[in-house]
Amino acid sequence: MKLTAAQISEKCGAVVKGDSTFVVTGVGDPKTAAPDFLCFAHAEKYLAAIESSPSQIWLITQDLFDRLSQRSKDSKTFLITPKPYVAFVQVVKHFHPPEPVKSGIHPQAFVHPEARIHKTAEIGPFVFVGADSEIGAGCILKSGSYVGQHVKIGDNCLIHAGARVLDYCVVGHRVILHPGACVGGDGFGFIPHEGAQLKIPQVGKVILGDDVEVGCNSTIDRGTVGDTIVGEGTKIDNLVQIGHNCIIGKHNILCAFVGLSGNTTVGDYCLFAGQSATKGHLKIGSFVQIGGQTGVSKDLPSKVSVKGYPAQPVTEYLKNQALVMKLPEIYKRLLSIEKLVKGTNDAETN
């Protein structure tokens, strides 16, 4: 596929500065891109990359363009837009469109006679679809994916190889489950009883809203009695654990290695950075930012940013960290003062 600079500008509303007939054949990384591959930059730290990159065409802001050398302005073509990253995403979709749905059920798939598969869905080889399950229009179930019994999957979902949706779970429209994702495994519930651990039956389900994405090898446990719910637009990275009966709102971001203990409630538009975790039975408001490796042990109101263990306001955490870095110096000064005080006391005694 090919696009001219003028065609790209029409797609993303950018202003061309340079050769509007320049032909773009792909998109790439600034260090390795071919001269006719489009790149983007949205921050000052990329100025040097723009100057030295083999790429001859860029999506950038007006501010970055103004800071470039005249040599680059004269020799390269630029597409000026306030949001070059967003524009770049739009162009990437043109050069790398999603694969078309190949409607039909592969002869090596197993689909229970009582399952309902939309005629436009694609069921790949070695897929399992259980009894009374429903697969919506335009869905793609890749090789080796598993859908249990009494499952409902909406339209235009993509279930990658090895992903699993277990019994009674509900998946909305345009959901993506990456390889190894497991939706609906048992919650971790046991009661000490007569010298052993008595398993608590997990009879709830998992409900995923529209446009949810679940990364590789992430797990979302079903509820004990009620349901585990993930709101629309929430994006879950690889290797994330969501415990039973968690209720997660809309458009949240959960980065890799995040762990939410059971019965955690999260509002909308929250960010959980890598390796952050919560204690169970907590309520977290909306627009909350939780830093990497943060341990949340108490409820959090909306519109706060926390970091550390235990979780504390970011400004307080940074002040405390600055003090920690000074501890060796403080310790040396304390030893000097102790020696001075001891020497004075010895002199007075003598």
Give the tokens for residue 64: 């970055």
Give the tokens for residue 86: 């967003």
5 to each of 19, 46, 112, 156, how far by Cα in Å?
7, 21, 51, 32
**CA–CA dist 121, 309 (Å, integer):** 47
Q: Tell me if residue 94 is catalytic.
A: no
Q: Is 57 helix (H, G, I), strand (E, B) or coil?
A: strand
Amino acid in position 94:
H
**CA–CA dist 221, 246 (Å, integer):** 9
Q: Which one is catalytic: 94, 173, 244, 281?
A: 244
**Both ends of the chain: CA-CA distance in Å?**
94
**CA–CA dist 201, 224 (Å, integer):** 7
User: Minimal CA–CA distance to 155: which of 181, 132, 176?
Assistant: 176
**CA–CA dist 9, 309 (Å, integer):** 47
71 to each of 29, 51, 142, 274, how far by Cα in Å?
21, 9, 49, 41
Cα–chain-centroid distance for residue 129? 28
- Name the residues annotated as catalytic: 244
